[in-house]
Structure formats: structure tokens, C-alpha cells
Chain A
Amino acid sequence: MNSSLGGDGFLTTTINYIANWGRKNSLWPMPFGTACCAIEMMGAFASRYDISRFGAEVARFSPRQADLMIVSGTITYKLASVCRRIYDQMPNPKWVIAMGSCTCGGGPFDSYAVVQGIDEFLPVDVYVGGCPPRPEALIDAIMKIQKKIENEGAPII
């Protein structure tokens, strides 16, 4: 440690790198859980899968305190405007995970009431297929988001 810090105890990096490093390891999810997938999302937060190993356990139900939206469960037309509004209330930078077949493309509900994929009204970063996906799949999605933040980053305001 001392050798990498140099003699005077400092290291050189870019502000972008250090900000993204921080963002990636402390994602605050906003769980937009509506249906079955929300139960598997709760499973990911609970004892066996423990999402806090990936630094993303601070679930915030207020969109203003979150930077990762996990949309899990069927989104109907009635709910779509609510979902979009919550997304708009989140501060930048923000990311979206579409969890489950319903959010990816309507899933088994090809009906008059269901939006056929949330990408019709939200920019989605990672899609997780499955009906419902296992908690491992959600954790994998979070790791993909982390990789994305690391590689692409986000502008510092």
C-alpha cells in the first residue's frame, strides 16, 4: 500500500474514475416492484442471496434518493405513467434494470392492458429474462450495471 501511494501518501487518478468507482460500488436501488418478480427481488435482498455483498442493499423507496431503478413485474398502461414519473424524479446519473419477461416484452400477457415492454417509455440498461428470473440473475444484472458504470461512466456535474 505504502509503495503504491508513493512516499508522501497520495495517488494520482482522475476525478471521473474515482467518482465512477464510488458510484459502481454503492448503487442505491429504487425497487419498483409490482408483481411476481418483486418476490424474487425480495429474495435477492434477503438472507440467502444478500445483495449487500454487491453494495446495492440500500433500497430507497423515494426516487429522489436512488440511482438504480429495478422495474420488476408487469407494467400495465394504467401504471406506465406512474413508472415514468418515478423515473423522471430520480436524479442523474441513473440506470434501469428491466427484471422479468413482462418488463422486457410483455411476457405471457399479450393483452389489452399490459405494456409490451417497458422500453416503450423508459431507457433500459439491462434486461433480465425469466418468469420470474432467479435472484442470481438479478445479481448478475447488477454486476453488469457496475461494469457499465466502470467502462462508460457518467458525466460529473
Chain B
Amino acid sequence: MERVEFITESPDSGDGVSTKSMMLNMGPQHPATHGVLRIVLHLDGEIVVKAVPYIGYLHRGIEKLCENITYQQCLPYTDRMDYLAAICNNIGFILTVEKLLGIEDEIPERAKVAEVILFELGRIESHMVGIGTHALDLGAMTAFFYCFKERERIYDILELVCGARLTTSYPRVGGLPLDLPEDFEEKIRNFLKIFPETIDEVDKLLTRNKIWVNRTKGVAYISAEDAINLGLSGPNLRGSGVPHDLRKSNPYLDYDKYDFEIPVGTDGDAYSRYLCRMEEMRQSVKIIEQAINNLPDGPYAADLPEIVLPKKELVYTKMESLIRHFVLVYEGLKPPVGEVYHGVENPKGELGYYLVSDGTAKPYRMRVRGPSFVNMQAIAQMVKGAFLADVITAIGSLDIVLGEIDR
């Protein structure tokens, strides 16, 4: 599809017909804005002259709320930022607090491997919604149902592990709160058997679908240079051909021990980003396979009495454990004075937590670098000079989530 040049003023037709540009308000309640994003579009006919996104309709004050609660209590709030992959947010936050406490090296292997499995499940979960709703917005409803079928399977696993489907709040500082359930391995292996078939099905439905290709190829283009300058991350950056992935460049959770590749797009358009996401899910399957084969036995939480809660049966039977439990819950854990930044490769890009500790049990400041917030900046540039219908493609292909943008 050829891109239309940016039109500055209406052509003077000379026959007395005057044209005017039109302002169109898209959102905050719109089925394709993935939440409550509002975009004010300045249109010349069907061509977008200017697009201005307005945010803040879901601002809940998470960062401010976290200043008044203990570190452990912050965990459930991180779920509700990028709720499509809550488990990735949780793990990112836990890793940051562990870094602040300086106990990264004491986390047992079993907890680390389990976190990798759950992190990659979160990635699949998020991409399934990203692709499913993107297709739904462009009129392909079937893919949405196939994607959600698979998402429900991931929900089942998460429910088995932590009791919640969507808002997991799962790992704790220092490891896992409970050992993994007995049939965890079996469920994961079962999922790994079924899931690649679904990717192939979605692949068949979309990748060579003429309508899908026409709606996405060459649409919402962003060059590699612009993508870097805007600070994009995740599949949106890799779709433009920049092989940047924090799992490779700045490995956490021992990601450097796993054998996987970073899919990179070539065109920087919506279709490339879609292909990147599809391939990323296949790579995630590869990572989960390696992790489940190497899931070690042994302790699931670090042996740090001042940080990790004692086991429940000890709390009921041993006085010392009861006191430790009481103190840890009542006072919270107290990291040393200092500040720390830790970024993880969320499904949507680099999710960073910046924590400032003043030595008390409550964070002095918690700042979240949400990938969607940064990625969303690209919309204005992507849709400039494009058709109105391509705005939907741009939003869908950026895969933004408003909980994280507004926080």
C-alpha cells in the first residue's frame, strides 16, 4: 500500500467547492482503543493530518499508593498495571526488591526456573490477547476465539499454581510462597504439546490471509532510527529490525543459560510486528521446554529468616517462627537506604521499576517505566498521512495496555 503524503492545506479547487478539515474524537470509549485511550484526530477527508493521544482516563495513582504500603503489599498493585501479563509484572517487581535487598544470589534454583516458566507463560498469554484483539479490531473474529481458547489453558496452569486466573500476585521476595503443585510438570508438558498446534492454526488464519495482509502490510510504519529515538521496546522495536532484548543484553533469572533466538522483523510495519509476536511465542515454547526439563528439586525459597516468611506448619507449632512471622508481617522487610533500577523484558517491552528506599519498610518512591507508555508515543507518527482505518491497525499492532500507561 502506498503511503499518502502529509497534506497541509486543502487544495483550492477553484470551482467554488471548499473543503475543510475535520476533527474527530476517538475514544475514550471505543472498542478498538484497548481500554480508555482517547485520540483526537484531525482529518482531511479520510486522511489523518494529525493525531493527538490523550491519556489519564485510567490513572489510579498506583505509584502514590505504593508509597504508603510495605514492599510486600505493593505486589498486588503491580498486577493491575499490565493486566494482560500480570505474572511478568510481579516477577519484575520481585526481582527489583531482591536487587534492592542484595539477595539475588541467594534465590534457589527451583524458584528461578519456575519464574522463567511463568514469565514465558505470561508472554504467551499477552501475545495471545495482543494478536487476538488486533485481529478482532480488523474484523477477523475467529482468531480471537482461537487465542482465548489457549489463554484459558494458561489460566488453568496459573490457577493451579497460585489460585488466581488473571491477577496472580504470585512469587514473593526470596522465592516462591509455596512449592509448585504436584501435577505442575504434567500440566506444562500437556500445554507444550497442544499450544504449538494453536499457533499454527492462528498462523493459517492470518499470516497469508489476503485481507489481513492488506490491512497490515506497509501500514503503521516506523523506521528503526525513529523507533530507537522514541524509546520503543519489545516487539515494536524488534519489528523495525533492532535486535534488542533485555533477556539477551541484560540477562536476569539466568536467561543466558537458555537457548533461544530473538525474532527480528524487517519492514517496521504492523505485519512485521505481528510476525515478531508469533515467532516470540514459538521461542517462549522453546524456553519453557528447556526450563521444565531442568526444573530442579530442592528448596523453593531462600533461607533468609528476616525476609522470607516461615512455613505455615512451623508458625502453628514453633514459637520462634510465630514471632518471626508476626514481625515480618507487622513491620515489613526493611531494605537498606539506596535506590535501584531493574528492567525486565515484558511481553510489551522493557518494564522497569525504580525503587528508592529510605531504610523503612515502605518505598520512598516507586516509579514504573511502563513499556506501553513509551510505545504509545509512536502512534502520532505512525498514523500521520495514513487512512482513518489505519489508526485501528496502529493501535492494535502497538499492543498497548492502558493500565500501564496511566498507572
Chain A: residues with CB nearer than 8 A to chain B? Answer: 32-36, 38-40, 42-43, 46-48, 61, 73-74, 76, 78-79, 82, 86, 108-114, 131-132, 134
Contacts and interface: CB of A to CB of B under 8 A. Distances in A.
Contacts of A114: 60-61
Nearest to B35: A34
B27 to A, nearest CB: 9
B57 interface: yes
B28 A108 contact: no
A38 B29 CA distance: 12
A39 B166 contact: yes
A40 B146 CA distance: 16
Contact of A35 (B31, B65, B80, B133): B80
Interface of B: 28-31, 35-36, 56-62, 64-65, 76-77, 79-80, 83-84, 86, 129, 133, 144-146, 148-149, 151-152, 155, 165-167, 402-403
Contacts of A78: 56-57, 59
Contact of B149 (A47, A76, A108, A110): A47
Contacts of B403: 35-36
Nearest to A74: B60
A47 B167 contact: no
Given A108-B76, A131-B167, A46 B56 contact: no
Contact of A34 (B58, B61, B129): B58
A61 B392 CA distance: 15
Given A34-B36, A38-B35, A46-B152, 12 more contacts: A34-B57, A35-B35, A35-B83, A36-B83, A36-B167, A40-B166, A46-B148, A74-B60, A76-B56, A79-B28, A111-B65, A113-B60
Contacts of B58: 34-35, 73-74, 76, 79
A48 B35 contact: no
A108 B56 CA distance: 18
B148 A108 contact: no
A35 B401 CA distance: 9
A111 B83 CA distance: 19
A131 to B, nearest CB: 6
